Structure formats: C-alpha cells, structure tokens
Amino acid sequence: MTESDINLKGKNALVTGATSGIGLAVAKRLAANGCNVAISGLGDPDAIQKLLTDIHDESGAVALYCDADLRDPSKIYSAVEKLNRDVGDIDILINSAGVQHVADVVVFPVEKWDEILAVNLSAVFHATKAVLPGMVRGGWGRIVNICSTHGLVGSSGKSAYVAAKHGVVGLTKVVALEHAQRKITCNAVCPGFVDTDLVRKQIRNIAEQRNLTYEAAQDEFVSSKHPSRRFMSTDEVSSVVLFLCSEAAAGITGSAIPVDGGWTAQ
C-alpha cells in the first residue's frame, strides 16, 4: 500500500498541539489525504493564521483553528461542540498536545505536575469523551494518541511526563476495548526523541548544565537512548499516524506502537 491508496476525503479531523512539531506534521499529512482539519495549539495568532492558509493552499482542505485551553475541560467540550456545528462530527482525533518539565521527584514543582497531568493525560480523556458520540453516530472513527516511548519505559527526572504517558497508553487500551465491535479504533504512537521545540529545550538545558556545545549535548542525548543514533523525524511519525487512520489499519486497535530507533528493543 502506498500513501496514494489512502483516501480520507470528507473526513473531519481534530489535531491538538498542532501549531508545531509532530501535531503540525500530522495535520498537514491528513489534509493532504483529503481531511478537513481543525488544529489547536499555542502561538501568535498571525502565525497560526498563516499555518491555516498554508494547509489550505497546499491541500485544498478546510483548515480551522480550535481555540481551547486544554487545561480546562469545559473549553474542550465547548470547542468540540462548536466544530460539530460548523463542520460536522469529528471522525479523526489526534491527541498530540504535550508539555514537559524535568526535575527529580523530591524537588518537582507541584504546579508543574498538575499542568503536565492536565495537558498530557486529562485532556486526552476529555477530548476523546467529547468526540466519541459523533463517531458512534457516524459508525466510524479513528483516535490516535501521540504518546511517547515514555509511555512504555521510564527516565529519571520525568515523573509527571512518564506517569501521564503511561496513563495515555492505558486509556488507549480501554477506549479500544469499549469500541472493539464498532468501526472505531484507538491506538497510541510512541515516538522516541523527535527534533521538536520540546526536545531542543531539554538539549539546551543539558548543554548549559554540563558546559557542552549544543551539538555535543545533542549527540549524547540521542545516542543514550536510540541505537540508531539519530532523531526520529516528524514525517516518520506522521506516516504511522496516517496509516492508523486508514481502512488498511481497521484491525489495529489498542496498540502502542514505538517509533523510537530501537530504544525499546534494548
């Protein structure tokens, strides 16, 4: 099967955390394959409008901005209700939004714990709960949670992130089981390190703390986990997501799929 065999024309997709990084790559990939896309995420309003224009110009798809603070459940439900009215029920949900903070448990700020759990785990639950009735009505749906290798393994200093991502993997399984007899699938994609703003910030912190060049810190950071000794690309991750949204992947549900350069094979 090639990408040209995937046709999602007329489907409506909501992609959270899609103003940059993996989420943006996924939104563009879905639009290129026929989806109308609504994106949420942080950023300058003019820059976001340019993203929407670019997506539309490149694909011809309808591209909308979904203005929702994912830390507030009521905003998530309101945003989905508005999308249902404006473009129709959501057929595809990609939960990609994420935040990070690195510190040992003993000094981990409580407010950071609360924020990470709210955005990385609770928002996934609320967005999923909000879109599922429409998927049931339509008799078809795809939910893909952009998790992380940290949904499968742990790392020091990332208590909240690891806890949240493990929770997302568990939630993925439950949603899949509850809808196994419908044409609704729910899967998690678990990337290793991807060259995104979130990861670059961690590398800069390592470089500063250890008096290393950015390049040296980056090489150490990636090779410490990836036998491939390279970042995963957003294209690699979005390709897996696109496949999971296709009819060819109808039998895959409740899975957590690593895209991690061999990290979890060790």
The CATH number assigned to the domain holding 114 equals: 3.40.50.720
Q: What is the pLDDT of residue 207?
A: 93
Domain presence at residue 110: yes
Let me know whether 207 and 182 are in one domain: no
Q: Are residues 52 and 129 in the same domain?
A: yes
CA distance 153 to 49: 37
Q: Are residues 136 and 75 in the same domain?
A: yes
The verdict on 120 and 225 lying in the same domain is: no
> Does 210 lie in the same domain as 181?
no
Query: What average pLDDT score do residues 2-16 get?
Result: 86
Mean pLDDT of the chain: 95
Number of domains in the chain: 2
Q: Is the pTM of this model over 0.85?
A: yes
> Average pLDDT of 28-43?
95
Q: Is residue 46 part of a domain?
A: yes
Tell me, yes or no, whether 161 and 256 share the same domain.
yes
**Residue 261 in this model has a pLDDT that exceeds 70:** yes
Residues 209 and 152 in one domain: no
Please determine, for residue 56, whether its predicted confidence score (pLDDT) is greater than 90: yes
Does a structural domain hold residue 178?
yes
Q: Are residues 241 and 225 in the same domain?
A: no
Does the residue 17 lie in any domain? yes
164-209: pLDDT as tens digits: 999 999 999 999 999 999 999 999 999 999 988 878 888 999 999 9
Please report, rounded to a whole number, the percentage of residues in the chain having pLDDT higher than 90. 91
Residue 49 falls inside a structural domain:
yes
Q: How far apart (Å, rounded) are the C-alpha atoms in residues 264 and 69?
A: 33
Write out pLDDT tens, residues 85-142.
999 999 999 999 999 999 999 999 999 999 999 999 999 999 999 999 999 999 999 9
Residue 72, in any domain of the structure: yes
Per-residue pLDDT band for 2 (boundaries 50, 70, 90) equals: low
Note whether 213 and 165 are same-domain residues: no
Domain assignment present for residue 265? The answer is no
Domain containing 18: what range?
7-194+233-260
3-state secondary structure the chain: CCHHHCCCCCCEEEECCCCCHHHHHHHHHHHHCCCEEEECCCCCHHHHHHHHHHHHHHHCCCEEECCCCCCCHHHHHHHHHHHHHHCCCCCEEEECCCCCCCECHHHCCHHHHHHHHHHHHHHHHHHHHHHHHHHHHHCCEEEEEECCHHHCCCCCCEHHHHHHHHHHHHHHHHHHHHCCCCCEEEEEEEECCECCHHHHHHHHHHHHHHCCCHHHHHHHHHHCCCCCCCCECHHHHHHHHHHHHCHHHCCCCCCEEEECCCHHHC
Do 161 and 177 fall into the same domain? yes
Query: Does 39 reside within a domain?
Result: yes
Q: pLDDT at residue 54 above 90? A: yes
pLDDT of residue 201: 87
The catalytic residue positions are: 161
- In angstroms, the CA 262 to CA 191 distance is 11
Return the closest-CA partner of residue 190 out of 31, 22, 25, 14: 22
Same domain, 98 and 214: no
Find the distance separating the first CA and the last CA of the chain, reported in whole Å.
30
Whether residues 144 and 203 fall in one domain: no
Contacts of residue 206, defined as CB under 8 A and 6 or more positions apart, other chains included, come to 212, 217, 220, 221
